[in-house]
Amino acid sequence: MKIIKTKSNLFDPIISSNKYVGHIKENERTVEVKPSLYASDADPSNSLNGQICGYELSLHKHDDIVDETSENIPFIVELINKQPIIQLKTHIDKLDCEIKQSYRLFIRAYDCANNNERRYSERASLIITIDDVNEFAPIFTHKNYLFKLHQDQNCLSCRVEAIDDDCSNIDNRVCDYQIQTSNVPFSIGSNGSISITTPLMNDTYEFDVVAIDCYPSSSDNDTKKISEPAKVTIKIIKSCKPTITDDYPTKSTIHADHTHIFDTLHVDICEETCAVENIIGTVTLDSNGIDSGCNLEQCSSINREYVLIPKDIDFNQAPQSRYMSFDGIKQTSIIQKKDFSGQLKNDFTIRMWMKHADEENDEKENIFCKTDEKLKNRHHTALFIQDGYLKLLIRKDPVSINDKDVYASEWMWKIPQVNDNQWHSYKLFVNYPNKIN
């Protein structure tokens, strides 16, 4: 007689699907699974081998992968009234989809046989998604927004932005914006763009805006979360044209050989629209009409004045009766020492009227000069015309034998008025030896 020994636990459990999808909200503890999770065993149902005792979760599909991180799985499968329920582990407070939005797991069932005879089903995939709960109100990217607009300009770049950190809001968008301040000439769109609704009359406008999220609050299905307000300031830059105003009096008495004419100018350079690096002033003097009606007031210097040629009553007009013609040979005017010693300080002014024509003469045509005695005939100071140039000569002797300084002694100017045969007024401002104007 032959006895065959057979194994009592013959069949592996069979799970109801090879793929499951679960959902759980951040503030809940039980996972809703589809399709329904259950398993069966073909062994006799009245034996432990034919009954399902539990379900096992893992991060891997195959048994040959040692899973040392299963403790990181926040879920466990409990049998309640013999029905498998996937729940959060008791030591976990709640899930946070802002940290982790889904879990990819594997699940299998096992029967109630002893450990050495226990059989397992094939592993099925289980993807659990954490559904967002509207926890966060929108937050503006800035607490204060400042926009500057030129007068009559549209507010094309006036836009505020808020973000929502709830995880279901993938692009962090919000659904609406509102202006909380009443009676302002602006509106705001759902994308945060600010538009002008009526003509702007003031220089500055300030108002508060709020952002509204896209999802109802979990605590009140009719209420959406609203951000803290952000302040918007819109500054209107008035149309501006640079202007110049001058407080200098129309008539003034000159008390020096030099006077500043730009000190009293005020220039409005439109600071909001113009960054000024430099301001250049240009003065044009029209001297051609001085002898034909230009009404200039008589100027007088508070310093001592030496008159070499008697002048007309109005020295600011071209000579009408008192003038001298020089031929460069015989016609001269000698100034007596009792009238003028010839000693000039370092600062002095030469003032004259002159009419001169170009005669292509290379010789010096002296207007005035101060020389040594006749035998030496050496010029110390002279104003003359030569080769079309107006020239000034100043030659001073050294103060002592130890004086080794060397200074310029001649200055010349090439100006067309010298030879145009018209009357012109000339002033030479001498600050010897530094500057001659």
Same topology between domain 14-131 and domain 139-237: yes
Q: Which H or E run includes 384?
A: strand 379-386
Does position 253 have pLDDT exceeding 80, yes or no?
Answer: no
| Between 423 and 143, the higher pLDDT residue | 143
pLDDT at 295: 46
Looking at domain 139-237, its CATH class is: mainly beta
Q: Report the distance separating Cα 174 and Cα 138, nearest Å.
A: 7
Cis previous bond, 74, omega within 30: no
Burial of 123 from C-beta contacts in 10 A (0-12 / 13-18 / 19+): buried
Q: What is the pLDDT of residue 174?
A: 87
Cβ atoms of 82 and 54 closer than 8 Å:
no
pLDDT in tens, 360-397: 777 788 888 877 766 665 667 888 888 888 988 888 76
Whether domain 14-131 has CATH 2.60.40.60: yes
Classify residue 292 by its DSSP letter: G
Q: Are 422 and 288 in contact (CB under 8 A)?
A: yes
What's the pTM value of the predicted model, to 2 decimals? 0.46
pLDDT in tens, 72-127: 899 999 999 989 999 999 999 888 887 888 999 999 999 999 888 899 999 999 99
**Would you kindly state where each structural domain of the chain is located, as residue ranges?**
14-131, 139-237, 287-437
Query: Which of 328, 294, 299 shows the shortest CA–CA distance to 311?
Result: 299
Q: Token pair 């104007």 is at which residue?
A: 437
Higher pLDDT residue, 217 or 159? 159
What whole-number distance in Å separates Cα of residue 161 and Cα of residue 224? 18
Q: Tell me: the pLDDT tens digits for 164-202?
A: 888 776 666 788 999 999 999 999 999 999 999 998 888
Distance from the first to the final alpha carbon of the chain = 145
383, HSE (Cβ side, Cα atoms, 13 Å): 15
Least trusted range by pLDDT, from 133-147, 254-268, 310-324: 310-324
Nearest C-alpha neighbor of 164 from the set 134, 209, 131: 134
